[in-house]
Structure 1
Amino acid sequence: MTLFSISGKTSFRLSAIAVASVLALSACSKGEQQQQQGAPELVVSVLTVKAEDTTISTELPGRLESFRSAEVRPQVSGIIKRRLFQEGSYVQAGQALYQLDDASYSAGLASARAQLAAAEAAQAKANADLARYQPLVAADAISKQEYDAAVAAQRSAVANVNAARAAIRSAQVNVNHARITAPISGYIGRSNVSEGALLTAGGATVLATIQQTNPMYVNVTQSAMDVMKLRRQIAEGQMSAVNGAVEVTIILEDGSEYPQKGRLLFTDPTVNETTGQVSLRVEVPNDDNILLPGLYVRVRLPQAQANSAYLIPQRAVTRGAKNTVVIVAPDGSMRQQEVTIAGQSGNNWIITSGLKDGDKVAMDGTMIAGMMGAQKVKTQEWQASQPQQSAAPAAPAKPNSASAPAQSSAAASAPAAQSASQAK
């Protein structure tokens, strides 16, 4: 018994559907193959490294300090009559700053001068008496005792004159100190006292402060551990000491570099027991008075010379427990390489081990680290001025003749599908 039969019309319909399906699948397969063949290829910016001798510098925090600073204090007691300077102005050494009431000191000076006159008169009388006694004692007209008394009186008169002259000088000093002057040249700050204030000699009151600001000092501290590590590397020959005067760069709070270079004056030979820091002092010119005492700055200080090191932009190095870079091999494969960082030079890390001449270091190593092993890449030499974009797709491949059959097959499937629809 026949369960079912297929008529000629139905058979034609099924054949048309089958042909259309085969053509559609063929077109999809060729389209996917074309898409895979035309996938964009990654282009990675690389830096071809070469060893060079490099100065290792370190940036240390510091505070600016005036070259010389003097606190103005009274040397005699008295009441301030006048302030003779403008706050914030530049004053010369010896310039009058305050005038005290000197009436009592002037009177003391006059008294000392009067005492000198009396002493000089007594000395004149003693000299005359001694002159008269000399021939008398020779003729035994007077006793030797009387002559000795005349000699002693004359010497006492001379001493009294000297004492009176010293009293005049002392009184004159008091009068002079009643006019308080600048001990050094420099910029004077605000006055801490005003007219009418009573000053006491040797008191704790600071009347004003004068500071010389050209040149300036920068007081810097560095970890004793870093200093010892650097000295050990120099002793082992890994680095060499910087010869000659050390030129120092000052970095201001806004990140800009101060136009004038400083010089290292000294490094303290002892370590602070509390902080474990070593103190350094830098001198820097301040011709335009841009730098101010107390200002926070950073100091870029050359400390050693690294022999056969590599300068690698910071963006190419992945920092962590281990510092790594991405190396691109000649065949386009990528691998991570551990490196040793010895210091910093501008925006570059100084690499002393882990690289060799000719290695191609990928820029933005952190960004492309996840691509390693996934595919091979092309390289282009990195330029410092180019934007930070190291991995970019290459231009897609142009359509070739292989794509034409796929398009023809897809086009051919349309009439077949239409015929099948009409057959229904």
Structure 2
Amino acid sequence: MSKPRPGCKRGAGLLAICLASGCGMREAPSEAQGPQQPPATVSVETIKAMPLEVSDVFPGRVAPLRIAEIRPQVGGIVKRRLFEQGAEVRAGQPLFALNAAPFKAEASMAWAALQRAEAALSRAQVQVARMAPLAQAEAVSQQAYDDAVSQRNQAAADVAQAKATYERRKLDISFATVDAPISGRVDQALQTEGALVSANDAAPMARIVQIDQVYVDLRQPAGSLDLVRRKLATQGGVSRAAAGVPVTVLQGNGEPLAVTGRALFSGMSVDAGTGDVLLRVLVDNPRRVLLPGMFVQARVPLAHYDSALTVPQQAIVRNGGRPAVWTVSSAGQARRVPVTLGELVDRRYRVATGLKAGDRVVLRGAEKLTEGASVMATSADSSSLAATSVEADSPALAPVPTEAATRAR
């Protein structure tokens, strides 16, 4: 037999080493395997159905309920001012006294003319009564009798005219005292004693504004007009003017004023420059805290939901502009749920469709989730979350502007 060659021995040794190392490589992964990664920890909020009032804040300007310019109906010299400037006056209260002597003299002349006309009428009536039997007996001509009747009728017309003139002169005497046409607060006097005034003067003698109730004319975007009209239409049982939509007038710091207001109507045209529509609000103003010309803000309710589901703004995630939320099932698995969003109120979106009461919505940790992944859910207090939202801006959602959105802008 021939002896094995040395090269064969070396090849067999290398093959044994390779086989040994290959077995070691197959066993290495099993030795390197450790415990599985723990599930992601997320903060969740269990949503509940609650009543929701959607409102918005609009700027406005105060206008008086009534305003009257005090003007004389006759000309004359102002003798006295009969009111305190800035005081409250009632309808019919005397404000100015003009010199009435000329009007009294004219009334006396009119009275004398009336007496003369009545005397002429009496004489004409006696003449007709005397000629009537003579005309029947043909003792006088028919022409003479007809003339007597005509003179009687003319005298009666003169009496009526004289009475009218006398009544007009008496009115001039009463017009010498200028009365308040409405109740309200009288402004400063624009004419003083001794001034000559007439009915054709360009400037009034004073102005009266009624401010126990005032109008607040709000400017609202045309987009929210349908909501306000729908709210007005739901005020059943009484007329709109009597009930209306309740409106809260706000101070400069945002606190509500101690006044009550109600919306009366919305304008019929849209401002071409601003795109706004007028909304007139009637406000009770017993303490006169609102003055004409003031700029104010008012909170107008736009919608009410008896049972609404809301989620914090930061819970919304978007994919291609479509809103969705991450939820955690009872089995502890993450699910991405598309939703339809409504109004934004106090940094919370109303969810129209996609969720139900009792669902757990992820508020924190959504960036670590995948569909069906196991998660560990912890309860989160939404009031302690950051004010900024993790969602990106997208034109796909255009919620109705509300009070919170207005403040954000």
TM-score computed with the length of structure 1 as normaliser: 0.66
- Rounded Cα–Cα distance in structure 1 between residues aligned with 2:42 and 2:89: 63
Please name the residue that 2:263 is paired with: 264
Deviations for 1:336-387, whole angstroms, at most 9, x for unmatched residues?
999776435567554546765423454xxxxx78x9549x997444275xx6
Q: What is the correspondence of 1:151-230 to structure 2 with a 5 Å cutoff?
A: 151-227=149-225, 230=227
Q: What is the correspondence of 1:19-418 to structure 2 with a 5 Å cutoff?
A: 47-52=45-50, 54-227=52-225, 230=227, 242-244=234-236, 245-306=244-305, 309-312=308-311, 342-345=342-345, 349-352=349-352, 357=357, 358-360=359-361, 362=363, 372-373=367-368, 379-382=378-381
| SS across alignment from 2:91 | coil
| SS across alignment from 2:201 | coil
Q: Is the 8 A contact 2:217 2:279 kept in 1?
A: yes
What's the CA shift for 1:159? 0.7
Please name the residue that 2:38 is paired with: none
Distance 1:241 1:186, change over 3 A: closer
- Rounded Cα–Cα distance in structure 1 between residues aligned with 2:258 and 2:43: 34
What is the RMSD computed on CA atoms of the aligned residues?
4.0
- Rounded Cα–Cα distance in structure 2 between residues aligned with 1:231 and 1:300: 12
Q: Is the 8 A contact 1:240 1:305 kept in 2?
A: no
Please name the residue that 2:11 is paired with: none
- Rounded Cα–Cα distance in structure 1 between residues aligned with 2:192 and 2:186: 15
Q: Unpaired segments of 5 or more residues in structure 2?
A: 1-40, 237-243, 370-374, 388-409
**Quick one: higher RCO (CA 8 Å, sep 6+), 1 or 2?**
1
Deviations for 1:43-77, whole angstroms, at most 9, x for unmatched residues?
99764322445332222222222222212122122
What's the CA shift for 1:290? 2.4
- Rounded Cα–Cα distance in structure 2 between residues aligned with 1:64 and 1:377: 56
Distance 1:338 1:75, change over 3 A: farther
Distance 1:180 1:345, change over 3 A: farther
Distance 1:240 1:269, change over 3 A: closer
Q: Is the 8 A contact 1:325 1:361 kept in 2?
A: no
- Rounded Cα–Cα distance in structure 1 between residues aligned with 2:316 and 2:188: 51
Distance 1:341 1:113, change over 3 A: farther
- Rounded Cα–Cα distance in structure 2 between residues aligned with 1:325 and 1:242: 33
What's the CA shift for 1:329? 5.4
Q: Is the 8 A contact 1:241 1:305 kept in 2?
A: no
Q: Is the 8 A contact 2:79 2:193 kept in 1?
A: yes
Q: Unpaired segments of 5 or more residues in structure 1?
A: 1-42, 363-367, 391-424
- Rounded Cα–Cα distance in structure 2 between residues aligned with 1:151 and 1:240: 69
- Rounded Cα–Cα distance in structure 1 between residues aligned with 2:213 and 2:313: 35
Distance 1:194 1:45, change over 3 A: farther
- Rounded Cα–Cα distance in structure 2 between residues aligned with 1:188 and 1:268: 30
- Rounded Cα–Cα distance in structure 2 between residues aligned with 1:55 and 1:311: 12
